[in-house]
Amino acid sequence: MNTPIPVIHYGLGPIGQAIGRTVAEEPRLVSVGAVDIDPHLQHHKLHEICDAELPELPIVGSLADVKAPEGAVVLQATVSRLSQARDQLMEAIARGYNVVSTCEELVWPWDDQPDLARELDEAARKGGVTLLGVGVNPGMVMDTLPALVARITSGVDAVYVARYVDVLERRIPLQEKMGLTKDPAWVQERLDRGQIGHVGLGASLQMLAAGLGWSLDVISIESEPIVATETLESGLGFIEPGLCKGIRQKAIGYIAGVPRITLELIMEAGVAGGGRDETIIDGDQALHMHLTGVHGDKATAALIVNQALHVQQMPPGLQTMLSAPLLPRRGQE
């Protein structure tokens, strides 16, 4: 076996901990550093926080306090917003580290934040390192995977992707973000202000459009609470009828007035029919993909770790899951 790839854990909240547990099971990676800005976490060791067989590394407050070789891979699991991730990414680049990140807005920043994307791309290329944002959503089931499946048919008229998530199977902070047990009007107000809900459905829409070679004229994104009609038990207590049991988001991309891509994200307590991912591609062939078993947090941790195995071999710069090959060309490994 080759020498394991050194990785630095950056961000040790619930997702960072799940990444830690996944790294512990992956012999091709070795943890060499752990960072979190939360001073409370800095009293603990990496293996304690993750409850996993990992090296006994102190959790430090900054990348500057980590000793790792150039080319090490930072596993960033800190923030959803690219503006907040920027300084951490620039510091990683300056230290010669590659980055695989859960930052939702890094997955496809080219349409919403092109200046920031270009800045990071140029810095990474100059530094000879690669940045890659990935997650289950955005990053895989509603964009990369449908874009690959769409290559199977010609004459694509429309693409419909729906992801159904049972939030009862997910961590409590996510159940809070989905407004569980709250008054629907309260939830709608915060959805409208962008204070709760899922980050990244618009990014998935734009990423999928790019993968299809389409330029969308108009994008609409709507979010609404899903109201319970019977009492449900959740990680936040009972959800009485009339209260919020989840959130439905719908993003539609139009070309010349015609809806061409529709993404629907249904995240609710006790989703009817069970959690699943549906992709319908309406082209010369009518393709229908039905995928079950994708668990959001576990899947994001797995994608981060699996891409960490490959990021050193990708061409430098800001890559996306559309530009990142699954493997390097033979002879180029």
- Given the rule CB under 8 A, which residues bind a copy of itself? 22, 25-26, 28, 110, 117-118, 121, 136, 140-141, 144-145, 147-149, 151-155, 210-211, 213, 283-295, 298-299, 301-303, 305-307, 309, 315, 317-320, 322-332
Could you tell me the smallest distance in angstroms from the CB atom of residue 170 to a copy of itself? Answer: 13
Could you tell me the smallest distance in angstroms from the CB atom of residue 257 to a copy of itself? Answer: 19
Could you tell me the smallest distance in angstroms from the CB atom of residue 254 to a copy of itself? Answer: 19
Q: Which is nearer to a copy of itself, 43 or 288 (CB)?
A: 288
Q: Which is nearer to a copy of itself, 43 or 126 (CB)?
A: 126
> Across-strand partners of 318?
131
Q: Which is nearer to a copy of itself, 50 or 232 (CB)?
A: 50
Q: Which is nearer to a copy of itself, 202 or 211 (CB)?
A: 211
The DSSP line for 171-221 is: -HHHHHHTTTTS-HHHHHHHHHTTSSS-S-HHHHHHHHHHHHT---SEEEE
**Cα–Cα dist 182/111, whole Å:** 33
Could you tell me the smallest distance in angstroms from the CB atom of residue 328 to a copy of itself? Answer: 6
**Cα–Cα dist 246/4, whole Å:** 42
Edge-to-edge strands, sheet with 73-76: 29-35, 5-10, 73-76, 98-101, 130-133, 317-319
Q: Which is nearer to a copy of itself, 256 or 327 (CB)?
A: 327
Terminal alpha carbon distance of the chain? 14
Could you tell me the smallest distance in angstroms from the CB atom of residue 110 to a copy of itself? Answer: 5
Contact (CB, 8 A) for 105 and 203: yes
Could you tell me the smallest distance in angstroms from the CB atom of residue 289 to a copy of itself? Answer: 5
Q: Which is nearer to a copy of itself, 257 or 331 (CB)?
A: 331
